[in-house]
Chains A and B, each alone.
Chain A
Amino acid sequence: MAVTASSTRDDAGLGPSSRQGRRSGPPPGPADRPPGNGGWNESARSTLAGYLFLSPWLVGFFGVTALPMLASLVLSFTNFSGSFSRMEWVGVENYRIMFTVDPAYWGSVRVTLLYVLISVPVMLVFALAVATLLNKGIRALGLYRTIFYIPSLLGGSVAIAVLWRFVWGESGLINGVLSVFGIDGRSWIGNPDTALITIMVLNVWTFGSPMIIFLAGLRQVPTELYEAAALDGAGRRARYWYITLPSISPVVLFNGILATIGGFQAFTQVYVVSGGTGGPAGSTLFYTLLLYQRAFTELRFGYASAMAWVLLVVIAAVTAAVFASGRFWVHYGDGEK
């Protein structure tokens, strides 16, 4: 009995080598390894192979990611401004200046938060609304998908930022449309009250990529659920609210986190639309743009590193908070929360 059991286990494990005729007798090392190949056992070989395959990534991870990250933390406690010989340890001075002295700092925080808090939810609502319509089994789905997605593809480019300056300029497209209704618009980009809005609209304009993800999520919702609900007499709105939304809530979470992280890091459009200044009157001085100015025009690398670390901590905290909030509204299949 015991023999039979062990021999079956052997057969299962040695499937490959038993076909080779088991010439080398009991293999070295764990029983399920094929024999031979220079005396290496399989586990050591695959570990070696693993690290060889991984070596470019390992070099990149340490050289271009992990160590620079640590370096930036260290720099944030110094007054480094380009020359190591004049670098001094200044403790938390950079952080103190940032939070209490720098006149532009809190303005940039405000602009960035407004941008994220307004444009991200609006973008996601658009994405979900259009995805819902596209999911109704309509014709020409592929064509619509392509048209709505193209802005996402181009939105980060300088060409579109340049275009935006014309669309929202004094004699731009928007004012052209408004003049039809007898409204005489000013330059939206030149006005501190509206400049940020134009950049928010640019972000909303790129709703195509979350839309594609929503569409994939909507297709996963089991049709039986809708059929059962319809039999119970649930109306269209109730079905959307009680079946569709809970079913795709993980996708909402995923999109929300991606768009939030991306929103905090918006740079190209802001830089080009405002000509690198964050104007007019600091109304589009995003956090990333201030960081860029402090580092690369004023060469205050220590200070800018401190800004970068605050950004990292805020993004991490916001991401964690959104994840944690998911406990209350994200449903993962089969009635589990």
Chain B
Amino acid sequence: MSTVVARRRPRRPVGHAAQRTLIHVGLVSAAFVMSYPLLWMGASAFRPSEEVLIEDSLWVSNPTLENFINGWTSVAQTSFGTFFANSLIISVLAVMGNVISCSLAAYAFARLPFRGRRVWFALMIGTIMLPYHVLLIPQYLLFNSLGWVDTFLPLVVPRFLATEAFFVFLLVQFFRLIPKDLAEAARIDGCGHARIFAQIMVPLAVPAMATTAAFSFIWSWNDFLNPLIYLTSQATYTVPIGLALFVDASGTSNYGGLFAMSLLSLLPVIGFFLAFQRLLLDGISTTGIK
């Protein structure tokens, strides 16, 4: 009897070696199928253009770097250098804006018992759920009347106003976990809220701020709708808009160049992810950020 019970008791590693192997086989094949398009894109970036559509395998028989050179200047008048520089400027400013404004707001929500806090907090949470399309047109009219269209301002200024409430929520959760005694002790020593925030809370919240920074960068880097609406002259285009222009305008057969530029456009995102992997995955687990 006791042996039966023992056999049925679930163990951390699943029972039989055969079964474990089966799981690994399943997972590896799923991972392979899922990653194949990405790997194929990577391989195609190093192939002569005329081979791209014919070759379905990952093997590159005639490797070349030519795609990166002719892809870089493939869009008339502007090079991808401009697009990358624009994307970088916008993304870095978006990171700064989000980290500063969201952590200020989050500190207030998490730690300052001011009047009306509950109401504001509820409103802030409400904006997380708000579909962006409701704001699209009035924001466009607002920024247009300010003369901001065809500048980076509509893409950057809202970030300094903590409008991506997801990050406020993430940081609130984090600030709440920091023991109160530290701030309490500092206050007895005569510290104001500004110093408590800057000298105690910020250093302790570095992990949550790094998560915010990484996701801000990735979202801003990948953003397509806002640049599509606000950036009208080619010199201000970001990488995604440049790519869309490439794919539409080309209609050509410079597939190699297209894949090379697509690959380059993904590298910063993948780099950020690998660098902050642990923090990002924890961030997703706790708040559901994409």
Residues of A bordering B, CB below 8 Å: 16-17, 19-20, 34, 37, 43, 45-51, 53-54, 56-61, 63-69, 71-72, 75, 130, 133-134, 136-139, 144-154, 156-160, 162-167, 171-173, 176-177, 205-206, 209, 212-213, 215-216, 223, 226-227, 230-231, 233, 239, 254-255, 258, 261-262, 264-265, 267-268, 271-272, 275-276, 288, 291-292, 295-296, 301, 304-305, 308-309, 311-312, 315-316, 319
Q: Are A148 and B34 in contact (CB under 8 A)?
A: yes
How many chain B residues touch the partner (CB < 8 A)? Answer: 102
Give per-residue flags for B25-47: 1 if the beta carbon is below 8 A from chain A beta carbons, else 0: 01100110011111011000000
Main DSSP-derived SS at the B contact region: helix
B168 at the A/B interface (Cβ < 8 Å)? yes
CB distance from B243 to the nearest CB of A (A): 5
Residue of B nearest to A216 (CB): B285
Q: Contacts A138-B20, A153-B270, A159-B243; is A212 near B142 (CB within 8 Å)?
A: no
Q: Are B13 and A138 in contact (CB under 8 A)?
A: yes
A residues near B38, Cβ cutoff 8 Å: 150-151, 154, 163
Q: Are B5 and A231 in contact (CB under 8 A)?
A: yes
Contact of A64 among B163, B262, B285, B290 (CB under 8 A): B163
B residues near A291, Cβ cutoff 8 Å: 133, 136
Contact of A16 among B140, B158, B188 (CB under 8 A): B188
B residues near A166, Cβ cutoff 8 Å: 52-53, 255
Q: Are B193 and A147 in contact (CB under 8 A)?
A: no
Q: Are B14 and A68 in contact (CB under 8 A)?
A: no
B212 at the A/B interface (Cβ < 8 Å)? no
B residues near A57, Cβ cutoff 8 Å: 101-102, 104-105, 108, 124, 161-162, 168
Give per-residue flags for B215-233: 1 if the beta carbon is below 8 A from chain A beta carbons, else 0: 0001000101100110000
A residues near B100, Cβ cutoff 8 Å: 56
Give per-residue flags for B43-64: 1 if the beta carbon is below 8 A from chain A beta carbons, else 0: 0000000001110100000000
Q: Contacts A46-B113, A60-B161, A158-B243; is A149 near B105 (CB within 8 Å)?
A: no
Q: Contacts A153-B273, A312-B134; is A171 near B54 (CB within 8 Å)?
A: yes
